[in-house]
Amino acid sequence: MICNMKIVNENIEDILKPKSKKEIDLAVKNLYKKYGELEFKMDKYMPDDPELQAEYYEILDDPDMDIAEKQEKLIYFFNEYMLEERFCQYLPKGGSLEGFVNFLIYK
Looking at the structure of the chain, the number of domains it has is: 1
The answer to whether 42 and 82 are in contact (CB under 8 A) is: no
The verdict on residue 1 lying in a domain is: no
Q: What pLDDT is stored for residue 19 in this prediction? A: 64
d(CA 55, CA 77): 9
Q: What pLDDT is stored for residue 59 in this prediction? A: 97
The verdict on residue 95 lying in a domain is: yes
Q: What pLDDT is stored for residue 20 in this prediction? A: 80
- Averaged in consecutive runs of 10 residues, what is the pLDDT profile of the chain (107 residues)? 53 62 78 88 93 95 93 95 91 87 86
Q: Which residue range is the domain that position 69 belongs to?
A: 12-106
Q: What pLDDT is stored for residue 2 in this prediction? A: 59
The verdict on residue 34 lying in a domain is: yes
Query: Is 0.85 topped by the overall pTM?
Result: no
d(CA 94, CA 89): 13
DSSP secondary structure letters along 7-44: PP---HHHHT--SSHHHHHHHHHHHHHHHHHHHHTHHH
The verdict on residue 51 lying in a domain is: yes
Q: What pLDDT is stored for residue 14 in this prediction? A: 62
